[in-house]
Structure 1
Amino acid sequence: MIKKKNILLIVIDCLRADFTYNPQKAHIPNITKLKNEGYSFLNTIASTSTTTPNFTCLFTGLYPFEHGVRSQSGYRLRGKFTTLPEVLKKNGYNTYAEFTGPLIKEIGLSKGFDEYNLRGAKKTIHTQWGCELINKFKEYYKEPWFVCLHIWSLHLPRIIRKGCNRKKYGLTIYGRALSSIDIYLEKLLNTQSDDTLIILIGDHGEKTAYSKFEYFGKRIIKFLFRRMKKFRITKKYFFKGVRDILIGHGYSIYDELIKIPFILHNKDLIPQGESACQIRQIDIFPTILDIIGINYNKEITGKSALPIIKGTDCSNRDAYIEAVGVIIPSKDEWLTGLRIDNKYKFIYAPFQEDFEDELYFLKDDPAERYNVAKENKSLTDKFKNKIKEMRTERMVGEKIDEDIEKKIVEKLRNLGYMD
C-alpha cells in the first residue's frame, strides 16, 4: 500500500503575490527557495478581499454567491456543502486546523476537522506558541495528517521580529513583517520530510503604504481631518475613505487585494516550474485532491490545475470577484467584478446607480490606474451581463444566531475591524 503524503497548507493572511514572487520587496529566502524548488502559479485570483469568505471558497471550491458566506459575519456555511477537510478525513487523513482571526468554528469551517484550534491574537508564530506548534509536528500530529496553518502576523497591525525593522528586510512595514514570517518558516519547513506536500497561499492581498506613513500616518490623517471639518465630512466617512485608499482590505477588488500566491512543493508529486496562466482560489481544493490521487465527483465550480502543471492545459480561467465589506452593509456598497483572460479587469456596483464602471487593460496597465470603461462600452456591457447571468446577489448562507453574531462582532472589534 502506497503511503499517503502528509499535507501542510500554509495560509498567510494578507499575503500579496507581488511581494511573494519578488525577493526585492522583502528578505524571504525560504519562501523563494520553496518557490524555486516547487511549482508556482503567478496569477491566482482570490474571490473576495476578506478572510472568512475566502477560506470558505478555499474549502468548498465555490464562489461566495454559491456557498453564501459573503462577509466576516452574519451567515454561516450551510451543512449541505462538503469541505476539503471532510473529503480528506473520509480518505483516511487526520485533520487539524490551527486558525486565528475571525474564523470561529460556528461559521461552519470546522466541518471535517478532528481538531479546530482558534488561538487568540497574542499567540503568534513569534511567541512561545510558534515553538509549541513546531513540536506538534514532531510529536503530536498523527500521520497521515492534513494541517491548515493560518498565519496572522502580516495582518494589521503587523508584527516585526526584533532585528527585522531595517531596510534590509523591506522598505515597508508590510515587507518587514513578511521577512519576519520567513524566518519562522525556515524552522517550520525544516521539520517536514519528503512525505509532506507543502502548499503556501494567501487568503487575499493587502493595500500597503510606505513604512514611514504606517508609522506616522495616524497623526497626518488627524491633522487633515481637523482641516476637513468645515466641509462637514463626518469622522466615520473621512477615516474610512483614507483607510480604503492607503491600507487594509475588504472594500475593493484591485489586483493588490485579490492576486495571491499559490506555491506547491513535493519532489515526488510536483515538478519544478511556474505558470502565468490565470487560475482561481476556488481551483485550489480540486487541485490538492487531484495531486494526491483522490477522485472527487461532486459538482463544484473550481477545477483542478494539475493539467496546467503537467503541461496539457494552458488556458486562462475567468475569475469572479466581489467585495461586500467586513459585515454585509447596505448593498449600495457592494462591488462585483470579473478578471478575464488575464487581460481585463471589470468592476461595477450592481446596486449603485451613480457608480462609474471601471475597466482596465491589465497588459498595458497592471497597476489599474487608467479607467477605460467609457471608451469601451460594448465590453463593459458584455461583462456586466455576464455577472448578471450569475445572479450573484441572491445567495447568502444560513443565518447565524444572535448570540453567535454578538460573539463574532466582538471578535472583529478586538481584531480592529470595527470601531
Structure 2
Amino acid sequence: MTPNILILTIDSLRADKIYGKNKSSLTPNIDSLIKKGVYFTQAISTSDATGLSLGSIFTASYPFKTGITHFNYNPDASTYFETLRDQGYHTFATVPDVSFFLKSTSNFTDKDAYVYDKRDSWIQLVGGIGQLIIDRLERKLEEPWIYFIHLMDLHAPFYLPKEFDSEKYGKTRYDRMVSVIDFWIGKFLAKIDLAKTLVIISADHGDYIPVLDNRPKEQTKIHSLLKKGKETIPSLEPLGLKLFTAYNSLKKSYKYNKLKKSLTEDQLRTLDERGQWHLYDELIRIPLIFTGPGMPSSKIISEQVRQVDIFPTIIDILKISGLQNTVDGQSLAPLFVSKSLEEVPAYIETGSRDPKKLGNIIGLRTPKYKYLRSRIDPAQNISLFDLQNDPLEQNNLAQSKPEIVKEMETLLNKIRLGSINQDLPEFDDEETKKIQEELRKLGYL
C-alpha cells in the first residue's frame, strides 16, 4: 500500500507547549496522535524565520546550500515534493498568500492560498480557513496524495475566539490558541483514513511568549473602532492602520520601560523579537510527530533531530529513492525501532526582516552545547551554553571554555563546506513595495 501523506506545520508552535511540564493547553487530538505514533522531544528548527526553516524541510538541506530565504525562493533548488510527484503523488496545499508559499507550491497539482493579513479581515481557522481545509479533504483527493498545510493562527498578534478564552483551555492566550488549533486538527483527522495516511505535525519555528498581554481591553476597543471606521469610510483605512500600529508601538515601549525594573532577565527576554541576536531554545525547539501505518505507538524519542531529517525519513518509510546522498538530512526511521543513530549537530541561524540582509547569527546546537557567533565575523558575538546544566541559557561560557568554542567552530565550518554564494538579489521600487506590504501583512511593520 502506498500511503497518503498529510504534513501540517503550525507557525510559531513551541515544543514545550504541546508536551511536557509547561503544557497547559487542552489538546486531545494531538495527544492521541502522540499516543498512536512517535514524538520527538528534541526536534530543532534551522532558524527562527519561516522561509529558512520550511525551505530546510522541503529540501532537506540548509539555507547556505540552497540559497532559500523568506524573500528569495530559489526555483532551482530540488524539493522532496518534486521527488514524490515523480513517484506518482498528487501534490496539494493550503497556505497563506505570501510570496514564499506561493512560489514553493507553484508546481503543485492544486492549492488554496488563503488571505493572511493582520487586520480584522484575517479570518483564521474559525472564520473559514478550517472549513476550506475540510472541503478539500471531502473532495476525496486523487491518491496517492501529499497535502501540505501551514497554519498562521498562532503567529502573533493573534485573535483568540471568545469561547476558548478561559483557563480550561490554557494558562496563557498562547496556550488557549493551541487548544483552538487542536480542536480543528480533530476535524481534519475525522476526514482522513488514518489507516492509510502518514501524518506529520511540526512547526516552522518557536516564539517568545510575552509576559505582557498583547491584546489588552483598550486595544480591542480601538481595533473595533477601526473596523467601524473602515466600513463607514473605506479610504480612511490606511491612516487608521498607521495610527493603530503607532499606538501599539508606543504602548509596548511605555510598558517595557515601566516594567523593566520589576521584571527578571528571563521575563524581559520574552519581550524580544525573533530575527535578532539570540536563538534560545524557545525559538528553535519545535514539536515533531509521526503517526500512521507501520508506525510504532506511544514512542517518545529524546535524541536530538533536525528539520532537515523530516523528508528523508518520509522517503525511507515509503521505501523509495530520493535525494539523500546530496542533502544534509538523514532518515530517522532507525529510531522508530530503537536502533542507534548518530546525533548530528544541528546548524542554526537567525532570520532577517530586511530582504537585503541575511540574519545576524549562525551556530550549532548539540545535545550538550549551543554555540553561536556573528555571521560576518567569527570572533564577534560569541555565545556558548551548556544546555544540560543551563537549559535557560543564562551563563555564557565562551570566555571560560575556549577549547569548546574552537571545537564547535571547527564543526560549524565543516558543516558549511559547500556553501553557495548567498548574494541577495537587488529589488526595484515595485518589488520593494510588494515586500514592504508583505512584511506589514505578517505584522513586522
TM-score class, shorter-chain normalisation, is 0.7 to 0.9
Whole-Å separation in 2 of the counterparts to 1:352 and 1:101 = 36
- Could you tell me which residue of structure 2 aligns to residue 222 of structure 1? 253
State the Cα deviation string for residues 209-253 of structure 1 (Å, max 9, x = none): 23646648967533267889xxxxxxxxxxxxx997515423331
How much has 1:377 moved relative to structure 2?
A: 0.9
- Compared CA separation, residues 398 and 270, structure 1 to 2 (3 A): farther
How much has 1:408 moved relative to structure 2?
A: 3.2
Whole-Å separation in 2 of the counterparts to 1:154 and 1:248 = 15
- Compared CA separation, residues 208 and 393, structure 1 to 2 (3 A): farther
How much has 1:404 moved relative to structure 2?
A: 4.5
- Equivalent residue in structure 2 for 1:115, among 110, 120, 142: 110
How much has 1:381 moved relative to structure 2?
A: 1.9
The TM-score, its normalising length taken from structure 1, stands at 0.86
**Do 1:85 and 1:112's aligned partners in 2 also have CA atoms closer than 8 Å?**
no
- Could you tell me which residue of structure 1 aligns to residue 18 of structure 2? 20
**Do 2:51 and 2:100's aligned partners in 1 also have CA atoms closer than 8 Å?**
no
- Could you tell me which residue of structure 2 aligns to residue 359 of structure 1? 384
- Could you tell me which residue of structure 2 aligns to residue 192 of structure 1? 192
SS of match in other structure, 1:125: helix
**Do 1:86 and 1:111's aligned partners in 2 also have CA atoms closer than 8 Å?**
no
Amino acid at match of 1:387: L
Whole-Å separation in 2 of the counterparts to 1:8 and 1:69 = 23
**Do 1:207 and 1:246's aligned partners in 2 also have CA atoms closer than 8 Å?**
yes
Whole-Å separation in 1 of the counterparts to 2:379 and 2:290 = 43
- Could you tell me which residue of structure 1 aligns to residue 160 of structure 2? 160
**Do 1:76 and 1:399's aligned partners in 2 also have CA atoms closer than 8 Å?**
no
The TM-score, its normalising length taken from structure 2, stands at 0.81
- Compared CA separation, residues 254 and 227, structure 1 to 2 (3 A): closer
TM alignment of 1:76-155, pairs within 5 A: 76-79=73-76, 81-100=77-96, 102-104=98-100, 108-110=103-105, 112-121=107-116, 122-155=122-155
Amino acid at match of 2:190: N
SS of match in other structure, 1:386: helix
How much has 1:202 moved relative to structure 2?
A: 0.6
**Do 1:49 and 1:258's aligned partners in 2 also have CA atoms closer than 8 Å?**
yes
Range that drifts further, 149-158 or 305-314: 305-314
- Equivalent residue in structure 1 for 2:320, among 283, 294, 319: 294
SS of match in other structure, 1:375: coil
Whole-Å separation in 1 of the counterparts to 2:206 and 2:152 = 13
1:316 is the counterpart of 2:343: yes
Range that drifts further, 277-286 or 140-149: 140-149
- Compared CA separation, residues 226 and 133, structure 1 to 2 (3 A): closer
- Compared CA separation, residues 224 and 7, structure 1 to 2 (3 A): closer
- Could you tell me which residue of structure 2 aligns to residue 207 of structure 1? 208
Whole-Å separation in 2 of the counterparts to 1:270 and 1:328 = 43
How much has 1:103 moved relative to structure 2?
A: 4.3
**Do 1:205 and 1:249's aligned partners in 2 also have CA atoms closer than 8 Å?**
no
**Do 2:13 and 2:154's aligned partners in 1 also have CA atoms closer than 8 Å?**
yes
- Could you tell me which residue of structure 2 aligns to residue 57 of structure 1? 56
Whole-Å separation in 2 of the counterparts to 1:25 and 1:101 = 31
**Do 2:196 and 2:293's aligned partners in 1 also have CA atoms closer than 8 Å?**
no
- Could you tell me which residue of structure 2 aligns to residue 236 of structure 1? none
Whole-Å separation in 2 of the counterparts to 1:195 and 1:82 = 27
SS of match in other structure, 1:412: helix
Give the root-mean-square deviation of aligned CA atoms. 2.8
Whole-Å separation in 2 of the counterparts to 1:146 and 1:226 = 48
- Could you tell me which residue of structure 2 aligns to residue 412 of structure 1? 439
- Could you tell me which residue of structure 2 aligns to residue 232 of structure 1? none
- Could you tell me which residue of structure 2 aligns to residue 179 of structure 1? 179
Amino acid at match of 1:162: K
Whole-Å separation in 1 of the counterparts to 2:311 and 2:38 = 16
Whole-Å separation in 1 of the counterparts to 2:293 and 2:140 = 25
Whole-Å separation in 2 of the counterparts to 1:353 and 1:263 = 35
- Equivalent residue in structure 1 for 2:290, among 244, 247, 264: 264
TM alignment of 1:377-392, pairs within 5 A: 377-389=402-414, 390=416
**Do 1:78 and 1:397's aligned partners in 2 also have CA atoms closer than 8 Å?**
no
Whole-Å separation in 2 of the counterparts to 1:188 and 1:84 = 24
Whole-Å separation in 2 of the counterparts to 1:412 and 1:88 = 32
1:250 is the counterpart of 2:247: no
**Do 1:6 and 1:195's aligned partners in 2 also have CA atoms closer than 8 Å?**
yes
Whole-Å separation in 2 of the counterparts to 1:7 and 1:394 = 32
Amino acid at match of 2:440: R
How much has 1:111 moved relative to structure 2?
A: 5.2
How much has 1:415 moved relative to structure 2?
A: 1.8
**Do 2:39 and 2:300's aligned partners in 1 also have CA atoms closer than 8 Å?**
yes
- Compared CA separation, residues 101 and 279, structure 1 to 2 (3 A): farther
Whole-Å separation in 1 of the counterparts to 2:188 and 2:202 = 16
**Do 1:200 and 1:264's aligned partners in 2 also have CA atoms closer than 8 Å?**
yes
- Compared CA separation, residues 244 and 227, structure 1 to 2 (3 A): closer
How much has 1:118 moved relative to structure 2?
A: 2.0
- Compared CA separation, residues 140 and 129, structure 1 to 2 (3 A): farther
**Do 1:125 and 1:131's aligned partners in 2 also have CA atoms closer than 8 Å?**
yes
Whole-Å separation in 1 of the counterparts to 2:74 and 2:296 = 32
How much has 1:391 moved relative to structure 2?
A: 5.5
- Could you tell me which residue of structure 2 aligns to residue 335 of structure 1? 361
Whole-Å separation in 1 of the counterparts to 2:101 and 2:249 = 34
- Could you tell me which residue of structure 2 aligns to residue 33 of structure 1? 32
- Compared CA separation, residues 246 and 90, structure 1 to 2 (3 A): same
- State the aligned residue count: 397
SS of match in other structure, 2:326: coil
Range that drifts further, 111-120 or 368-377: 111-120
- Could you tell me which residue of structure 2 aligns to residue 276 of structure 1? 302
Whole-Å separation in 2 of the counterparts to 1:224 and 1:393 = 43
Range that drifts further, 392-401 or 173-182: 392-401
1:325 is the counterpart of 2:352: yes
**Do 1:208 and 1:247's aligned partners in 2 also have CA atoms closer than 8 Å?**
no
How much has 1:141 moved relative to structure 2?
A: 2.3
- Compared CA separation, residues 348 and 392, structure 1 to 2 (3 A): farther
